[in-house]
Amino acid sequence: MALRTTAMKNKNNLTMGKLAVIKTKETDSSVEDFLNAVTDKEKRKDSFTVLKLMQKATGEKPRMWGSAMIGFGNKRYRSPATGREVDWFRIGFSPRKANLSLHLILDMQKHAAKLKKLGRHKTGVGCLYITRLDDIDIKVLEDLIALAAKAS
């Protein structure tokens, strides 16, 4: 993800954190068309299930971000390390070739006990990677998605 930053000023004309401008932005593309184009039948079915879980948890309509990510809601995130800010979705996911990549923006270590109950998965910084929904406990996933939606 390429970033460009611009300095922002508040109402008193004081410089605030820099807003990072990223290439992946919200688009008007159809989420349903995108998911229907997923060639793997099981991944397509799993994607529609995740879509419903995230929509229920956020109360937001899904939107395409770039060409391959689906996001719910909008939020400005600030990096504690750099002070840079970025406009992004609250939670989202992408049906990638190897797995479903869920962007939950959660501190995964804080939810280790729940993740142990989830089933077969991998984690990254704020992300959860699931190969197939049949490999996990869907109720635990629903709980994690709800936690992420409330936290964002």
CA distances from 80 to 12, 77, 85 (A): 23, 9, 9
Higher pLDDT, 79 or 31: 31
Q: For 25-151, CATH number?
A: 3.90.1150.200
Rounded-to-integer distance, Cα 97 and Cα 104, Å: 19
The domains of the chain are located at 25-151
CA distance 25 to 42: 27
At residue 3, does pLDDT exceed 80?
no
Query: Per-residue pLDDT tens for 97-137?
Result: 999 999 998 888 899 999 999 999 999 888 999 999 999 99
Average pLDDT over residues 35-48: 97
Q: Which amino acid is at 10?
A: N
Q: Which residue has the higher pLDDT, 58 or 19?
A: 58
d(CA 124, CA 67): 21
Please name the residues in contact with 80: beta carbons below 8 A apart, sequence gap of 6 or more. none
pLDDT tens-place string over residues 53-101: 999 999 999 999 999 999 999 988 887 778 888 888 999 999 999 999 9
Look up residue 10 and give its two tokens.
């508040």
pLDDT of residue 80: 74
What average pLDDT does range 10-16 have in this prediction? Answer: 45
Q: What contacts 24+ positions apart, CB below 8 Å, involve 4-13?
A: 5/84, 8/85
What is the model's pLDDT at position 26? 87
Predicted pLDDT at 17: 57
Number of H helices, E strands in the chain: 4, 10
Residue 10's pLDDT band, with cuts at 50, 70 and 90, is very low
Give 1's DSSP letter: -
On the 0-12 / 13-18 / 19+ scale of CB atoms within 10 A, 23 is exposed
- The pLDDT-based confidence of 139 (bands split at 50, 70, 90) is very high
